[in-house]
Structure 1
Amino acid sequence: MSKSIIKHAFVALCLGGGMSLVSCSGFLDRESNSYIDKNMTFSSYIRTQQYLTNIYTLLPEGLTRMDGNAMFDGVTDDAEFALQTGDMQSINTGSWDATTNPDNPWERCYMGIRMACELMENADKVDLETYRLDPKLRTEYANRKKDIRIWKAEARFLRAFFHFELLKRFGPVPIVTTSLNINDDYSNVTRPTMDECVNFIVNECNAAADSLELQPWRDNTALGHATKGAALALKSRVLLYAASPLYLDYENLDETHRPTNAAKWEQAAKAAKAVIDLNVYSLSNNYVQLFHNQFQDAEYIFLRRYAVSDNLEKANFPVSFGGTGGTNPSVNLLDAYEMTDGSDFSWSNAAQAANPYADRDSRMDATFLFNEQTFHNGKVESYIGGKDGLYQTNATTTGHYLRKYLNESVNIQTGGGKLGHTFPYFRLAEIYLNYAEALNEYAPGNPDIERYVNLVRERSDQPALPNGLTQDEMRERIRRERRVELAFEEHRAWDVRRWKVASSTLGAPLKGMRIERDNTQATPTYTYTPYVVEQRVFQPKMYWYPIPQSELLKLKGWKQNPQW
């Protein structure tokens, strides 16, 4: 193991007595003089609790983690980030490598792993003697003992989560289960197999689930912390990926090589059904409102809560409403949304092409801001020459703006209407689709497949799937449903990889909409023409990220990932 991934993650004591992570700049190069002695940290109930909170801060930033205010889906066929000079653009153009990867969480994840290990190793050292010895405090003593047990389980879950974040990018990675000595030499560690990595994460999830509660322990101040459902949901996703073609033979990047394994699909189906059978989650009645900071909604299994801010709105509102272009949904994604009657949208249908936003799946309206759409007491003008249209400064590059997650009450000019935001790591709709996909691969025709896909569709008033679909037809339906239902939740990039269809998706030209307005009639009319915004590049080697070159220099027995 390289020293850069195992050095102490240090914590500075703030003046107010709280704890916060020191700046990430160079944080793995050496131990800080401000590092609190472990005994001082873990003898304190409050400091140990704050230490756990700091581990949570290392989870992925779902809403603005790329280039400061961009969403990761801007490197998929679902979107483009309006700022073309950002580092993430190198992924779209294929000009990234082992030293210039703009989505490299290696150090961040291993910092989280090490901190989780340290908490698990030391949390039992919390000094509770005052509570144990005072008969009046026995109930609080028991509660704090339970807190510590749950904190350790949360840390185990987080350790599994960070390992999976690495696995889905780099393939098999070093498995870390202790807070390693920074002076040891780990350069001769051998690379684990895919199955070893998957089994480790699954076992961690099982162990965490055994100790975690179904609901946040104590009170709602723990919302956002892991529960039993979160651990089982992570297990569901890990086993779904592990059963997929890319993971069954991770070094073979030939897209015509798509192996299958019925036993692994069955494991994945059972893992998803276990989450469903907890019977503590339910689909929200309103897809739109679900993403407007409804962090207590019963659909959410595990989420990230953001403080009150208008940064997301400043990044993504149309320019005439004070935004700066932000993440722009593509025509590629638009074309995936069905008509309200369940039929496919087609550009060869003259009536549909004349107004491509009419009579579509309601999830499109909840995700896209498009021309003439009412928004924030006004209308979006994304036609050429319109106040939000192509070629305006900072405007959309695709003819569309993002609507999902945005709090439309925000007034950027006055600073009013600010709210918090919520990003879902796991929610029930995904688990339904995980279950349906896995079931279709090893037991096609099982009635639960249609049942759970239809539950997701019905929430958005889409008709039930037609009867009698073949296994291949159902597979494509489920894949499209995932794309539409889970848009901008960081699924697309990994789904098309695990299915081994990335050349025709991530490598396809990214399309936008050129909208022209005709003012010669009393009521203006529009012409909608798809056009290529950008030629995207996807090469087979990009199924896996390159292992950071700095790590390969230290992991002497490791080869770089295939073709890098």
Structure 2
Amino acid sequence: MKIKNTNYIFLIVLLICGSCQKLDRELDTDLTKDQLETTFNSLQSLLTGVYSTLPYGLTQLDRATMASATDEAEFTNEINRVQLINQGAWTATNNPADVWGAFYQGIRRANLFLETADPAKVNLDIFKGTANYQIRIDEIKRWEFEARFLRAFYYFELTKRYGGVPIITDLVDENDVANLKRSTLEECIKFIVDECDVAAAGLPVSSGAYATVEQGRATKAAALALKSRVLLYAASDLFNNASWAAAYAQPQLISLPAGDRELRWKAAADAAKAVIDLQAVPVLNVNTNYRTLFTTPYATGVIFARRTEANNEFELANFSVGFDRGQGGITPSQNLVDDYEIRIGTTWVDFDWNDATHRAAPYANRDPRLALTVVTNGSSFQSRAVPIQTFPGGVDGAPKPNATKTGYYLRKYVNESTNLTTGVGNAVHSWIYFRIEEIFLNYAEALNEYAPGNANIKVYYDRVRTRAGVGLSGLSTAETQTKVRDRIRRERRIEFAFEDHRAWDTRRWMTATTVLNTPLRGINVANTSPAPTYTPFDLEARAFTPKMYLFPIPLNELNIAKGLVQNPLW
């Protein structure tokens, strides 16, 4: 949609991106489009605004994150609004996870930047006659591709939640908002994929091509990774099956046209392979230290992430209550913990509470990612002399306020070295959007759907599981397509726990009506001698109905833009 607007007033306040050169400082501008076209620095400020929409850390769901709206976790504070989702009580007027306005703000910022970023119109006189003159021109050209990638990213975040949404590529006058209509799902997918292709063609392969201070910018690898994810979703069940929506009058808004599913899976596989083929760049190699992957800015294997300034906000929210000022926060579920395999002898098998050997020492010899993701009873944390005690009366257990209800605390993403009271040890946080392990599993999943038995399924599945630091068994070549599908899905669950995949994977696979309706479970820990005993229990009933496969479009948006149509069953 291209709607001309003559009034371009834009306010950028405290846009701290922390990912681009000179883009991590406070900026406060109130400039017209013409004014923005006269200064390089103002244009740079505007790009900061586009980046600043990227979600990170605790900005989602009022500190609970979407993990607490899935079978991954419980949020300890019972009055948090995430419980509206868990109880099935959210509506088009009360959606705690609504992001419609936030991402359209990011899209508007990108559109304003793209209308403004013409090197021929930007005043670069102060650089003329210097070595920086051509550098500045090249930067502005590169920024255009960064903005187009970011806009595509925001459109995908909307599309995966709402289905087809209005595609707006220009600034929309307030008087024209009422005329906005939803684009079809097919149009949205095509737009995002095309923008990824354009961005990839104009961007360097990785942030390693930039100076260190510029790392975190959009890259060719990031654009192709987004394309991989988009086409994986487009091939998956949800966007190819409108039967859940009953007699919805406009299925084109929530489902793709009937077509050859194998071709869609092949397109997804090809898109993932395009990223894999960039692996000559060292940063795209797998990371062999699963722990530091989430605590080290721009770690190996990370394709695109947002860095924040050094702080302890995440730690305050998620440290055990056994630490001064710790708030408990996001606590992993027994549902998740049970899916980590256990090693018996030299064989990795499913954990089974009915097996006496498993039950006697439930956290011994488990998939090493469990101990790097979840804080369990008896484990060490920070340098505290007393191990974690989640049993009643324990240092980290009830009846302390906000003590874990599941019997676990979160370790992933948590910087254990910080002192919550003094702030000593605060660290930069890096919130990952794409990393190479996702691409490997995207490729394996897509291949298994259109070319089951393809040798590369095992190759890339194994690259995730058998890498140093994880060291699990690889995929058996004797597995059926169905079994391989199940293994890939569980590998995604484990590898990407708490990385904002589970809510969307269960929706696109259309398994959410089963797994997100399963009671959330915890573990009762009894401080018995000579060793604690553990009993799993149902903690909380959860409610997921078919309408929740997509988010409701906010009612206030429907009231303003009369041309919009609500999603089915809302």
Structure 1 length-normalised TM = 0.91
Alpha carbons of 1:546 and 1:444: their partners in 2 closer, same or farther (altered >3 Å)? same
1:320 — aligned with what?
Answer: 322
TM-aligned CA deviation for residue 10 of structure 1: 2.5
Out of 361, 366, 373, the residue aligned to residue 367 of structure 1 is: 373
- Do the aligned residues in 1 keep the contact of 2:7 with 2:32 (CA within 8 Å)? no
Which of 435, 445, 452 is the matching residue for 2:443? 435
**Farther off after superposition, 465-474 or 209-218:** 209-218
Q: Which amino acid aligns with 1:354?
A: A
Given the alignment of the two structures, is residue 157 of structure 1 paired with residue 149 of structure 2, yes or no? Answer: yes
Instruction: List aligned pairs for 1:146-545, cutoff 5 A.
Output: 146-183=138-175, 185-216=176-207, 218-250=210-242, 252-253=244-245, 261-279=261-279, 280=281, 281-292=284-295, 294-322=296-324, 323-340=326-343, 341-378=347-384, 379-459=387-467, 460-518=470-528, 521=529, 524-545=530-551
Match of 1:27 in 2: none
Deviation for aligned residue 1:12:
4.6
The question of 1:39 aligning with 2:41 is answered no
**Residue 79 of structure 1 corresponds to which residue in structure 2?**
73
**SS of the residue 1:481 aligns to:** helix
Q: Distance in 2 between matches of 1:344 and 1:247?
A: 31
- Deviation, structure 1 residue 71: 2.5
Asked whether the equivalents of residues 7 and 182 of structure 1 are also in contact (C-alpha less than 8 Å), the reply is: no
For residues 360 and 344 of structure 1, what CA distance do their matches in structure 2 show?
A: 10
CA shift for structure 1 position 67: 4.8
Aligned to 1:406, the other structure's residue is in SS state coil
Q: Could you tell which deviates more after superposition, 441-450 or 189-198?
A: 189-198
Letter in 1 for 2:413: Y
Q: 1:497 to 1:516 in 2, by over 3 A?
A: same
Once residues 154 and 86 of structure 1 are traced to their aligned partners in structure 2, the CA distance between those partners, rounded to angstroms, is 35
Q: Give SS of 1:393's match.
A: coil
Residue 173 and residue 114 in structure 1: after superposition, are their counterparts in 2 closer, same or farther (change >3 A)?
A: same
Q: How many pairs are equivalent?
A: 537
Aligned to 1:29: none
CA contact (8 A) 1:272 1:431 kept: yes
Match of 1:141 in 2: 133
- 2:340–2:370: 8 Å Cα contact kept in structure 1? yes
Query: Is the alpha carbon distance of 1:10 and 1:363 closer, same or farther for their aligned partners in structure 2, counting shifts above 3 Å?
Result: same
Q: Give distance in 2, aligned partners of 1:250 and 1:555.
A: 25
SS across alignment from 1:295: coil
Deviation of residue 479 (structure 1)? 0.1
- Three-state SS of the structure 1 residue aligned to 2:303 is strand
Distance change >3 Å, CA 557–CA 40, structure 1 → 2: closer
Shift of 1:390: 3.6
* Separation in structure 1 between the aligned mates of residue 210 and residue 263 of structure 2, nearest angstrom: 39
Cα distance, 1:264 vs structure 2: 0.4
CA deviation after TM superposition for structure 1 residue 223, in Å: 1.2
Whole-Å separation in 2 of the counterparts to 1:12 and 1:371: 46
Counterpart in 1 of 2:251? Answer: none
- The 2-side partners of 1:111 and 1:466 are apart by 47
RMSD value over aligned CA atoms? 2.4
Do structure 1's residue 99 and structure 2's residue 99 form an aligned pair? no
Contact 1:154 1:225 survives alignment (8 Å):
yes
Q: C-alpha deviations, 1:420-456, integer Å up to 9, x for none?
A: 1111100000000000000000000001001101110
Instruction: Report the Cα distance in structure 1 between the residues aligned to 2:294 and 2:484, rounded to whole angstroms.
Output: 28
Q: Secondary structure at the match of 1:100?
A: coil
Q: Deviations over 1:107-152 (max 9, x none)?
A: 11111101101111111132113333x2xx1x31111111001111
CA distance in 2 between counterparts of 1:286 and 1:303 reads: 17
Tell me: CA distance 1:331–1:563, structure 2 relative to 1, closer, same or farther (3 Å).
Answer: same
The aligned amino acid for 1:268 is A
What is the one-letter code of the residue matched to 1:48?
L
Post-superposition offset of 1:317: 0.9
Deviation at 1:475, TM superposition (A): 0.2
Cα deviation code 1:374-399 (max 9, x no counterpart): 11122111112211124321111110
Identity of aligned residues (%): 45
Q: What is the aligned partner in structure 2 of residue 64 from structure 1? A: 58
Deviation for aligned residue 1:8: 6.4
Equivalent residue number for residue 18 of structure 2: none
- Where 2:154 maps in the other structure, the secondary structure is helix
Instruction: Return the alpha-carbon distance in structure 1 between the equivalents of residues 117 and 475 of structure 2.
Output: 51
